[in-house]
Structure 1
Amino acid sequence: MALANQPPPLVGHDVVGSDSALVEAVTRHASADVAEELSALGREAGSAEAREHGMLANVHEPELTTYDRYGNRIDEVVFHPSWHWLMTRAVGHGLQAAPWESDSAHAHVRRAAGFFAWSQTEPGHGCPISMTYAAVPALRADDAIAKEWTPALAATTYDPGIRPVAEKAGALAGMGMTEKQGGSDVRANITEARPTGVDGEYTLHGHKWFTSAPMNDVFLVLAQAPEGLSCFVVPRALPDGTRNRLDVVRLKDKLGNRSNASSEIELSGTLARRLGDEGRGVRTIIEMVAATRLDCVLGSASLMRHALAEASWHVAHRSAFGSLLADKPLMQNVVADLAVESEAATALAIRLAAAVDAIDDPHEAALRRIALPLAKFWVCKRTPGFVAEALECLGGNGYVEDSGLPLLYREAPLNSVWEGSGNVNALDVLRALAREPEVLAAWITEVGHARGADARLDRAVDDTLALLGESGALEAGARRLAGRMAMCLQGSLLVRFAPPEVADAFCDSRLGSSYDGTYGALSTPVADLRTIVARTTPVV
């Protein structure tokens, strides 16, 4: 007997096809065929099986085995079978480094949309997938190293286990940047790289405070060489089959992202190959940083969409005080407001992926440089409050683990910390504006595509440009500037491409000077609220 007034589980839906904002963005920046190609991934992501594996991968957390039964140091992390189920499909769908080896003109948009959709199964396993995607552009600093590793990183076969890359059907990459004393200030790193006498070969001596996915096959690591901070490629297994000296001290006990193993490691004579020139480590690694920032935006936008789907599904099936929650004007206001925020995040994320596809276009390159830290700052910063509001739509049910919302809530702050905190990204925006004048021109051109279509957006753009004249307060106001610039980009996309009621609600609520971030305070007509909610509610 079915329980009265309890929503059915949200399973059996197409995560891609039921997301109008995602389908429209992919169609706009790629094609309808690309959107259709993702439907198989979308159906699998929305299945009961995927939901179950996502929950199990977090209940049964990874475990570190430092020594084998004979006392040999092995430093292996054991994952639950559900982790491997998720990884097999993520790699099989080409969500790691596959786009870098693709001939498709829209490979990065396709991959971004797939990553966005598949991350709704479980966000933690997206970390090794993302790092593998991000490693390839950095590896291209050395042709020989890139040729050795890229085919395996781009392969769509998940092949776990510590073995030489030549023996593997597919490989995964990680990174080790930060240290105890420096955090985001990597120039404070003290890990030492000592030349061995073999050209390009070093041994590393020191530690790394955060190394995610220590079972991956290769890591990009920063260390101090004789000529300064440099980037190195560290394989987990050496060509002769022996294991490189990479001691996993412990796994981090994190707020969220618990299915994924994040570790502290010690490097004691660890063999490494230099990537790029000595003393140019930050410049070498910058392409990896850019790619991981894109995935932070995609990951946070995915969390928003997942939380919104759960909230809109719940209110469409739960009654209170005499009628469905979805028919209550104030609940319509809350869900519609969340929907507008989610659509703005989705539109911006897929737009940035399209800029990666157009990698040789000067405008797109300049836009990537400024829009990635803008979007990383703003979308990731908005996610925790968004997920909390979506959780509240489920009431007490949303506070219970079985609903899945607590997992999303714990995950929500991660991407704002990963690959540079909010302050780091806001200051990077100032750095780009000061050193690269073409990036401001790219931002002005991009928001200018909507010039004259909405007076509120026009005023917001003008007011944002005026902030740049406040030179004495730029650093203190970096967050305000970054947020305004990001919202103008979102507003421009919605005004040009979203349904009128979505664009109107965004411009009316977000682009005014008095906006306080409270969800459910739209002044949008009730009929438009209903339309927005209906647009975002999953269909099973």
Structure 2
Amino acid sequence: MTNRISANPAVLNQSPPYEDVDLFASDRPLVEAVALNEASSAYVEHSDFGQLWGSAAMTERGRLANENPPQLKTFDARGNRRDEVEFHPAYHELMGHSVAAGIHNSTWTKTGAPAGRASEVTRAAKFYMAAQVETGHLCPITMTRASVAALAAQPEVLAQVMPVIASRDYDSRFVPWSAKRGMTLGMGMTEKQGGTDVRSNITAATRDGEAYRISGHKWFMSAPMCDAFLVLAQADDGLSCFFMPRFRPDGSVNAIELQRLKNKVGNRSNASSEVEFKDAYALRVGEEGKGIRTIIQMVQLTRQDCAIACAGLMRSGLVHALHHARHRGAFQKHLADQPMMQSVLADMALHVEACTALVMRLCRAFDRAPEDPAEAAYLRLLTPVVKYWVCKTAPGFLYEAMECMGGNGYVEESILARHYREAPVNAIWEGSGNVMCLDVLRALGRDGEASIAVLQELVDETRGLPGAPDAASFVARTLLRPDSERVARQAVESLAMLAAAAALNLVHPPHAEAFAKTRLDSARSTMYGGAELTEAQSRGLLGRALPQ
């Protein structure tokens, strides 16, 4: 009798899907970081959010939104210019849930004032969880939230749009923003001839009564399906910021002509475009010639979200790798019980725990800054530091998570492939690594005494941690050198790890000590698993990362 292979062989030694979990309650480092940064009252709200976003249904929406990327529809059937972007229904469902949770507006009151009361930390926890499921749709979410800070420079414009921004109804219709239940905003800064150097922009703004007509181009305009954009253009008195809606006041489509959608490495669910403006209608925001000062208020908040998103991506990479290792057997043991794999996973868990504590501490500074000068100084100095370090470490971390899963991590069916493609953009958007380091040097140059006070606070908060005094001395000595720009990256990285140790020391002192010992007090291995952690430390870290 001939043996035949079964048409449906049993699937053996594979981990079950990581889904239908509470992304909040299962994440002890997040729960504790949120509580210690004054947002413990939102536990039920966060758990409800975590259960929804940890569901199999939301995982599937994330997959569909990325496998069915947006499509540009330049003309309608009769040849009329439309410049619409069409999305898969899964994308709109993701947007609807994020908007309903207030991730786009909950840090503001209905008039556009800061909401305070730990609203930044409360929102950040949701943003962190949503990033673990689908990060691309968060681009218009973060820009809509951040745009309010820039629009505050033109109170009459803010007063018009804030009631629509303040809504928690998602409205995807292609109609004027004033006719919608809710709206989103995007941004256009970069031009072909100058990315970071926006002063070289050549897009021109001509006054037309109370409004302006704008002509020119943008090489990258993020989220072109939004209802309005903040753009930079050269007016009579210099580079200025403008509010540009998709429709003119008379209801006709504004002259915002989308040339093509960018074919990006990742971030595929989100649209990014090249665009030309042909006498497009716009309103000025802030003073003429003060465009950078105006829009940097928005950029400060989007930089914050870049760091939160990368921390969330790394958290997702960690738990998928750990979940797999706990179920996958090799050489008569589960992978998670093999000493070397355990060391790798524990070292990764330590990094994520430090990143989580750090981004939540930064968000607390955003909450407190309006009333506390010391927190405002922390925000100014450490926002570029945190963005630099957290975003720079994410791609390598996610590669390691993929390797922990072996071939299962390297196929498109794995969410880690999408995370790996997604991570680099957060280090590029809103200022690359060099720009972040230059911003740190500018903060020291403009407000040196306040920045030194922040550094002293970090010294106090890391007192007794191995390597912390030497790290602080190195940071101060290096950043104050005459040629500091040449060595700024190393100093900023050390400052980030010192700040992470300080933040983690508030949340979990034993793990802060382990972080300082392995990152500040000794030569750091370039590979995860190189840190010398005891078996007890490793099991403790992994138990906090994902309870069994």
Asked whether the two chains share a fold, i.e. TM above 0.5, the reply is: yes
Q: Give the structure 1 partner of residue 341 of structure 2.
A: 331
Q: Give the structure 2 partner of residue 306 of structure 1.
A: 316
Deviation at 1:451, TM superposition (A): 4.3
Q: 2:467 aligns with which of 441, 456, 459?
A: 456
Matches within 5 A, 1:276-287: 276-287=286-297
Corresponding residue SS for 1:30: helix
Q: Give the structure 2 partner of residue 390 of structure 1.
A: 401
Name the CA distance, whole Å, in 2 between partners of 1:469 and 1:104: 34
Say if 2:521 is the partner of 1:509.
no
Maintained 8 Å contact 1:505/1:522: no
For the structure 1 residues 81 and 156, does the alpha-carbon distance in structure 2 shift closer, same or farther, using more than 3 Å as the test? same
Deviation at 1:518, TM superposition (A): 1.6
Say if 2:502 is the partner of 1:492.
yes
Matches within 5 A, 1:89-128: 89-101=97-109, 103=115, 105-128=117-140
Deviation at 1:516, TM superposition (A): 3.8
Q: Give the structure 2 partner of residue 527 of structure 1.
A: 536
Matches within 5 A, 1:199-238: 199=210, 201-238=211-248
Equivalent AA in structure 1 for residue 248 of structure 2 = L
Q: Give the structure 1 partner of residue 382 of structure 2.
A: 371
For the structure 1 residues 530 and 127, does the alpha-carbon distance in structure 2 shift closer, same or farther, using more than 3 Å as the test? same
Corresponding residue SS for 2:486: coil
Maintained 8 Å contact 1:98/1:153: no
For the structure 1 residues 499 and 325, does the alpha-carbon distance in structure 2 shift closer, same or farther, using more than 3 Å as the test? farther
Name the CA distance, whole Å, in 2 between partners of 1:73 and 1:98: 35
Corresponding residue SS for 1:155: coil
Matches within 5 A, 1:110-509: 110-196=122-208, 198-199=209-210, 201-360=211-370, 361-472=372-483, 474-500=484-510, 502-509=511-518
Q: Which runs of 4+ in 1 moved over 3 A?
A: none
Deviation at 1:380, TM superposition (A): 0.3
Name the CA distance, whole Å, in 2 between partners of 1:97 and 1:239: 25
Name the CA distance, whole Å, in 1 between partners of 2:526 and 2:378: 26
Say if 2:72 is the partner of 1:61.
no
Corresponding residue SS for 1:31: helix
Q: Give the structure 2 partner of residue 4 of structure 1.
A: 12
For the structure 1 residues 348 and 488, does the alpha-carbon distance in structure 2 shift closer, same or farther, using more than 3 Å as the test? same
Deviation at 1:240, TM superposition (A): 2.6
Name the CA distance, whole Å, in 2 between partners of 1:273 and 1:31: 37
Name the CA distance, whole Å, in 1 between partners of 2:515 and 2:462: 16
The two structures have a TM-score, normalised by structure 1, of: 0.97
Name the CA distance, whole Å, in 2 between partners of 1:31 and 1:107: 8
Q: Give the structure 1 partner of residue 87 of structure 2.
A: 79
Deviation at 1:458, TM superposition (A): 2.3
- Unaligned residue ranges in structure 2 (runs of 5+): 1-8
For the structure 1 residues 405 and 213, does the alpha-carbon distance in structure 2 shift closer, same or farther, using more than 3 Å as the test? same
Name the CA distance, whole Å, in 2 between partners of 1:439 and 1:396: 50
Deviates more, 1:434-443 or 1:87-96: 434-443
The two structures have a TM-score, normalised by structure 2, of: 0.95
Deviates more, 1:355-364 or 1:166-175: 355-364
Equivalent AA in structure 2 for residue 194 of structure 1 = T
Deviation at 1:439, TM superposition (A): 4.0
Name the CA distance, whole Å, in 1 between partners of 2:35 and 2:117: 13
Corresponding residue SS for 1:249: strand
Name the CA distance, whole Å, in 1 between partners of 2:11 and 2:525: 39
Say if 2:47 is the partner of 1:35.
no
Name the CA distance, whole Å, in 2 between partners of 1:155 and 1:94: 8
Name the CA distance, whole Å, in 1 between partners of 2:179 and 2:426: 34
Indicate the percent of aligned positions where both proteins have the same amino acid: 47
Cα deviation, 1:120-159, whole Å, max 9, x if unaligned, reads 1111001000101110011000110111112212211100
Deviation at 1:466, TM superposition (A): 2.1
Q: 1:536 aligns with which of 522, 538, 545?
A: 545
Name the CA distance, whole Å, in 1 between partners of 2:330 and 2:407: 13
Cα deviation, 1:516-535, whole Å, max 9, x if unaligned, reads 43210111111211111121
What RMSD in Å do the two structures reach over aligned CA positions?
A: 1.4
Corresponding residue SS for 2:187: strand
Name the CA distance, whole Å, in 1 between partners of 2:369 and 2:409: 42
Name the CA distance, whole Å, in 2 between partners of 1:452 and 1:275: 45
Name the CA distance, whole Å, in 1 between partners of 2:90 and 2:450: 43
Maintained 8 Å contact 1:252/1:264: yes
Name the CA distance, whole Å, in 1 between partners of 2:54 and 2:256: 38
Maintained 8 Å contact 2:475/2:492: no
Corresponding residue SS for 2:74: strand
Name the CA distance, whole Å, in 2 between partners of 1:285 and 1:533: 41
Corresponding residue SS for 1:98: coil
Equivalent AA in structure 1 for residue 33 of structure 2 = A
Equivalent AA in structure 2 for residue 232 of structure 1 = F
Maintained 8 Å contact 1:453/1:495: no
Name the CA distance, whole Å, in 1 between partners of 2:291 and 2:474: 38
Name the CA distance, whole Å, in 2 between partners of 1:104 and 1:43: 26
Name the CA distance, whole Å, in 1 between partners of 2:462 and 2:265: 43
Maintained 8 Å contact 1:106/1:357: yes
Name the CA distance, whole Å, in 2 between partners of 1:287 and 1:264: 24
Deviation at 1:465, TM superposition (A): 1.8
For the structure 1 residues 457 and 11, does the alpha-carbon distance in structure 2 shift closer, same or farther, using more than 3 Å as the test? same
For the structure 1 residues 99 and 468, does the alpha-carbon distance in structure 2 shift closer, same or farther, using more than 3 Å as the test? closer
Maintained 8 Å contact 1:161/1:215: no
Deviation at 1:341, TM superposition (A): 0.8
For the structure 1 residues 433 and 457, does the alpha-carbon distance in structure 2 shift closer, same or farther, using more than 3 Å as the test? same
